[in-house]
């Protein structure tokens, strides 16, 4: 059993490495490609219009697909194959989302300029395919946590291993994004080609991730999960709403996701138009990303000495401090480095805490409603992430237009007013959202470790086979 667990830890780490390479490439750099080299023609009005249209489509599609994710979670829960419920969707979702991702980093046959209407149609279709297939891949991959761990301690270990792999993936992406774009540009002669080269590297990482999960991880399924009845699609949303701890956690989690997505997406703009050196993004943010890998290693130690709520509260406060430093840093290298480290260090702790709290609501939902919904419950996380990412991507498109950061804009073309407005939005809005997250989590989420342990014990007694002579 120990050999199986160690193998699971190793391959699950590798599967999350490639997953987060894709996630951050999709979340942070697709919009950068769209607002940059995709529309950099001689007509600035046309460029701004197209950036606005595509940004609106991204928001519209991602918001529209919010209702789809819970159904995808129910679909995964209802999938019964000899390979399990999760692996078929990890493999197919990973393959499809990576291919469509690469296609989005092309001009689609130069239709972006020659036939913008056709480009908008094709972009919308491809984005729908990518977003939907990524949701299947993402939900199924994270749903493996309760399938390969059963106790509180094991879930902390798996959560830490998963977040370590994700942190390494984020670190690798941050390090290779700009060098790969520059290399591709040198090899193929244009910045557009450079971004396409970058997307091809992301595809390789994504397929590697899916293969590791499907062929390297062995599920250890608790008995109670095997007898869970199928979830009817008409019961999907009522199942989520009736789980009050899941609902309140979702509100708090979304505020955090929005803050993270907005700041992370705008960070390349900050380096290019505020700090004044786009190439320094990888040079500064890359090494700073080591803080992600280091901090996640301390998570099990922290949760043994402090409650999960205490750990999460402090991590969110550190994130707040990082945004305050970033607001005043501007071109000060030392302050930018400090802000980058403070911003990145708490992320794996916040993410892992929210993820494990979300996983615990699976047991709470079964205890309260008599139904165990693994993927349906965990589909709430990508739903929130997608909603936050949609609003942040839409905001980025509008902010780039508002602050003159589109097309051929340079540092010298950005006024002091533009800089102030940009920093107020980039830092001020996320700070407000994080404060809301803290208040909601501390006031409304009552699923403590002791309460969860009591629930798990009661579920074990409830699901235990009846002894001879007892009523079944």
* Boundaries of every domain in the chain: 2-216+235-460
Q: What are 405's two structure tokens? A: 């950061």
| Mean of all residue pLDDT scores within the chain | 83
Torsion angle of C-alpha atoms 281, 282, 288, 290, degrees rounded to 10: 160
CB atoms within 10 A of CB 9: 20
Spatial distance between the Cα atoms of 82 and 200, rounded to a whole number of angstroms:
32
Spatial distance between the Cα atoms of 142 and 393, rounded to a whole number of angstroms:
24
Q: Which of 185-189, 199-203, 452-456 has the highest mean pLDDT?
A: 199-203
pLDDT in tens, 240-278: 778 888 889 989 999 999 999 899 888 888 888 888 777
Question: Out of 1.10.20.140, 1.20.1250.20, 3.40.630.30, 1.10.287.70, which CATH number does the structure's domain 2-216+235-460 have?
Answer: 1.20.1250.20
The secondary structure of residue 447, as a DSSP letter, is -
Q: What are phi and psi of 277, to 5 degrees?
A: -155, 95
169-174 average pLDDT score:
83
355 CB-near residues (< 8 Å, 6+ apart): 142, 145, 159, 162, 163, 381
Q: Which of 17-21, 25-29, 455-459 has the highest mean pLDDT?
A: 17-21
pLDDT in tens, 80-101: 777 777 899 999 999 999 999 9
Exposure class string for 154-164: b at 16+ Cβ within 10 A, else e: ebbbbbbbbbb
Spatial distance between the Cα atoms of 166 and 141, rounded to a whole number of angstroms:
12
Tell me if 136 sits within 8 A of 62, measured CB to CB.
no
User: pTM for the full model?
Assistant: 0.69
pLDDT in tens, 47-63: 888 888 888 888 788 77
Spatial distance between the Cα atoms of 197 and 253, rounded to a whole number of angstroms:
34
* CA 67, chain centre distance (Å): 18
Q: How many CA atoms lie within 13 A of 93 on its CB side?
A: 24
């Amino acid at each position: 059993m120990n050999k199986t667990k160690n193998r699971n830890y190793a391959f699950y780490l590798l599967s999350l490495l490639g997953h987060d390479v894709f996630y951050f490439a999709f979340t942070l750099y697709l919009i950068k490609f769209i607002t940059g080299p995709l529309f950099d023609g001689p007509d600035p009005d046309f460029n701004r219009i197209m950036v606005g249209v595509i940004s609106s489509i991204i928001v519209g599609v991602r918001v529209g697909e919010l209702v789809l994710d819970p159904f995808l979670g129910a679909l995964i829960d209802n999938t019964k194959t000899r390979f399990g419920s999760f692996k078929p969707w990890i493999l197919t979702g990973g393959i499809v989302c990576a291919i469509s991702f690469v296609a989005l980093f092309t001009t689609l046959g130069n239709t972006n300029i020659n036939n913008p209407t056709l480009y908008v149609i094709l972009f919308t279709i491809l984005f729908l395919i990518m977003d939907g297939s990524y949701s299947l891949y993402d939900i199924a991959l994270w749903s493996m946590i309760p399938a390969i761990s059963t106790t509180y301690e094991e879930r902390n270990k798996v959560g830490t291993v998963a977040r370590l792999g994700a942190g390494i993936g984020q670190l690798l992406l941050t390090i290779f994004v700009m060098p790969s774009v520059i290399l591709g540009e040198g090899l193929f002669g244009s910045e557009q080609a450079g971004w396409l080269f970058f997307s091809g590297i992301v595809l390789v990482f994504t397929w590697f991730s899916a293969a590791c999960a499907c062929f390297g991880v062995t599920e250890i399924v608790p008995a109670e999960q095997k007898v869970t009845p199928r979830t009817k699609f008409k019961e999907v949303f009522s199942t989520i709403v009736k789980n009050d701890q899941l609902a309140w956690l979702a509100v708090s989690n979304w505020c955090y996701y929005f803050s993270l997505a907005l700041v992370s997406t705008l960070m390349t703009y900050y380096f290019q138009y505020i700090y004044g050196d786009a190439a320094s993004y990888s040079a500064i943010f890359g090494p700073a990303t080591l803080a992600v890998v280091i901090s996640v290693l301390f998570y099990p130690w922290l949760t043994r000495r402090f409650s999960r709520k205490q750990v999460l509260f402090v991590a969110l406060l550190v994130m707040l401090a990082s945004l305050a430093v970033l607001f005043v840093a501007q071109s000060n290298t030392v302050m930018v480095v400090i802000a980058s480290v403070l911003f990145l260090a708490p992320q794996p702790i916040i993410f892992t805490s929210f993820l494990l709290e979300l996983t615990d609501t699976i047991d709470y939902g079964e205890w309260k409603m008599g139904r165990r919904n693994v993927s349906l419950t965990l589909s709430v996380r990508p739903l929130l992430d997608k909603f936050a990412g949609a609003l942040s991507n839409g905001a980025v498109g509008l902010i780039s237009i508002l602050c003159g950061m589109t097309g051929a804009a340079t540092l010298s073309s950005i006024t002091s007013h533009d800089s102030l407005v940009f920093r107020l939005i980039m830092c001020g809005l996320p700070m407000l959202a994080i404060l809301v997250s803290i208040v909601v989590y501390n006031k409304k989420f009552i699923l403590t470790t002791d309460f969860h342990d009591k629930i798990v014990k009661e579920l074990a007694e409830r699901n235990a086979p009846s002894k001879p002579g007892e009523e079944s």
